[in-house]
Chains A and B, each alone.
Chain A
Amino acid sequence: EADIYQTPRYLVIGTGKKITLECSQTMGHDKMYWYQQDPGMELHLIHYSYGVNSTEKGDLSSESTVSRIRTEHFPLTLESARPSHTSQYLCASSLSGGEQFFGPGTRLTVL
Chain B
Amino acid sequence: DQQVKQNSPSLSVQEGRISILNCDYTNSMFDYFLWYKKYPAEGPTFLISISSIKDKNEDGRFTVFLNKSAKHLSLHIVPSQPGDSAVYFCAANTQTGANNLFFGTGTRLTVIP
Contacts and interface: CB of A to CB of B under 8 A. Distances in A.
Interface in B92-113: 93-96, 98-106
Given A40-B9, A42-B4, A45-B100, A103 B43 contact: yes
Nearest to A43: B103
B43 A104 contact: yes
Contact of B95 (A4, A97, A101): A97
A102 interface: yes
A41 interface: yes
Interface in A58-110: 58-59, 90-92, 94, 96-105, 107
Contact of A42 (B46, B95, B98, B106): B106
B42 A105 contact: yes
B17 to A, nearest CB: 25
Interface residues of A, number: 29
Contact of B43 (A42, A96, A98, A105): A105
Contacts of A48: 98, 100
Interface in A9-51: 9, 31, 33, 35, 40-43, 45, 48
B100 A33 contact: yes
Interface residues of B, number: 27
A97 B63 CA distance: 22
Contact of A90 (B44, B95, B104, B105): B44
Contacts of A99: 34, 46, 49
B106 A100 contact: no
Interface of B: 2, 4, 9, 32, 34, 36, 41-46, 49, 89, 93-96, 98-106
27 contacts: A6-B43, A31-B99, A33-B100, A35-B103, A42-B4, A42-B89, A42-B103, A42-B105, A43-B103, A45-B100, A48-B98, A58-B100, A59-B102, A90-B44, A91-B43, A96-B99, A97-B32, A98-B32, A98-B49, A98-B93, A99-B46, A99-B49, A101-B46, A102-B44, A102-B45, A103-B43, A105-B43
Given A6-B43, A43-B89, 9 more contacts: A41-B105, A43-B101, A59-B102, A96-B99, A98-B99, A100-B101, A102-B43, A104-B42, A105-B43
